Amino acid sequence: MIRVVIAEVRKLRRPSLLLGTIATVGGLSALFTSIVFLMINSKDGNSKRGEHVGVEELSQASGLIYGFRLVGIFLGIVALCIFASQTAQEYSLGTLRNLLVRQPSRMKILAGKFIAMNLFALVMVIFAGTMSIALSFALAGRAKVDTSSWTTGAARKLLFESTLNIFIATLCFGAVGMILGLLFRSPISAIAVGVLWTLILENILAALITSIAKWLPGLNFSNLGEGGNMILSYKHSLATSLAYLIISGGIAAILFKRRDVAN
C-alpha cells in the first residue's frame, strides 16, 4: 500500500494543485484572521454570523486560535473539493484502468489514495494554522490585544487541540468528497453536490427543522472542528460523523470494488 501512497503523493504535489491550494487556504486564513482583529470595533461584528469578539476575549489563551478556528470549516470545503476531484478524475480521465493494471487490489488503491490525501490535508491545515497564528501576533498590537497569554502552556495546548480537531473535521469533509467522487465519477458533479449540500441545503434544513440540525453531517463535521459547543457536544458530533463515514464509506468501497471499469 505504501507504493500507492507514494504514487498518489506524486500526483498531489504537482505545482498547480499544491500552490493553488496553499494560496487558497493561505488567503482564507489571512482573511478570517484579519477580520477578527481589524474589525474588532465594528458594530457589524468580527466573527461568524455577525457575532462580536472583544479585546478581553482575544487577550485570553484562546484568542491565539480564534482566527484559525473560524477558517476551519472552509478548510473542510477545500478538502471536500480536492478529495472529490482527485477521486472522480480517475474515472473522467480514464486513468483508473492504468492504476488497476499496475495495482489490481482496489482496496489498496482506495486506502492509499485516502492516506495520501490525508497527508495533503495535514499540510493544508498546518499551513493555514501557521498563517493565522503569525497574522494574529502581527495584528494584535494594532487591535490593542494583549498577547502575553498566547505564549503560555495553556495556549500551546489549545493550539494543539484545535489543530487536531480542525484536521479531523477536514478529514471528514474530505472523506465525503472522496465518497461523492466514487459515486458520481465526475469531478464537477461530485463537487457541486458536496458544496451545495454543505454550504446551502444543510443550513436551510437546519433553519426550517431545528430538531434535525444535530443529525446533519456537515454541521457535525464543523462542530468537530470547533471542538464542540453548548448546543452540540464534541462526543455527539464525533459519534455521528463516524457513523456517517462508516456507512457511506462502506457503500462507496463496495461499489468501487465491484463496479466494472468500462471507461
Partner 1 sequence: MKKIAISISDLSKIYGKNAALSHGNFEVPVGTVCGFVGPNGSGKTTTIRMLLGLITPTEGSATVLGESIEHPEKYLPRVGAMIEGPAFYPGLSGRENLKVLAELGGFPLSRVDELLAKVDLADRGGSKFKTYSLGMKQRLGIAAALLPNPELLILDEPTNGLDPSGIQEVREIIRDLAAKGTTVFVSSHILSELEMISEYLVMLREGKVIFSGKTQELLASQKPIILAKPEYEVDLTKLASQVEAAGFSSVVIDSTLHITAPKEASAAINRAAFEAGITLSSISAIQQTLEETFFEMTGENT
Chain residues binding partner 1 by CB under 8 A are: 3-4, 6-7, 10-11, 14, 16-17, 89, 93-95, 97-105, 258, 260-262
50 vs 94, beta carbon nearer partner 1:
94
Separation between Cα atoms, residue 91 and residue 97, nearest integer Å: 8
12 vs 80, beta carbon nearer partner 1:
12
Contact 241, 172 (CB under 8 A): yes
10 vs 156, beta carbon nearer partner 1:
10
Q: Least distance from C-beta 19 to partner 1, angstroms?
A: 12
116 vs 155, beta carbon nearer partner 1:
116
C-alpha cell at 148: 502575553
DSSP state of 78: H
Q: Least distance from C-beta 252 to partner 1, angstroms?
A: 18
Separation between Cα atoms, residue 200 and residue 213, nearest integer Å: 13
2 vs 208, beta carbon nearer partner 1:
2
C-alpha cell at 84: 472529490
Q: Least distance from C-beta 143 to partner 1, angstroms?
A: 41
DSSP 90-138: HHHSSTHHHHHHH---HHHHHHHHHHHHHHHHHHHHHHHHHHHHHHHHH
Q: Least distance from C-beta 56 to partner 1, angstroms?
A: 49
* C-alpha atoms less than 13 angstroms from C-alpha of 29 in its C-beta half-sphere: 25
∠ at Cα 77 (157, 29), nearest 5°? 50
44 vs 260, beta carbon nearer partner 1:
260
Q: Least distance from C-beta 113 to partner 1, angstroms?
A: 11
Give residues with Cβ within 8 angstroms of 139, minimum separation 6.
Answer: 33, 34, 37, 38
Separation between Cα atoms, residue 76 and residue 87, nearest integer Å: 16
Q: Least distance from C-beta 253 to partner 1, angstroms?
A: 17
Q: Which helix (H) or strand (E) holds 58?
A: helix 55-58
CA dihedral 85, 91, 95, 98 (to 10 degrees): 130
Q: Least distance from C-beta 86 to partner 1, angstroms?
A: 10
DSSP state of 143: T
Q: Least distance from C-beta 112 to partner 1, angstroms?
A: 9
39 vs 253, beta carbon nearer partner 1:
253
94 vs 250, beta carbon nearer partner 1:
94
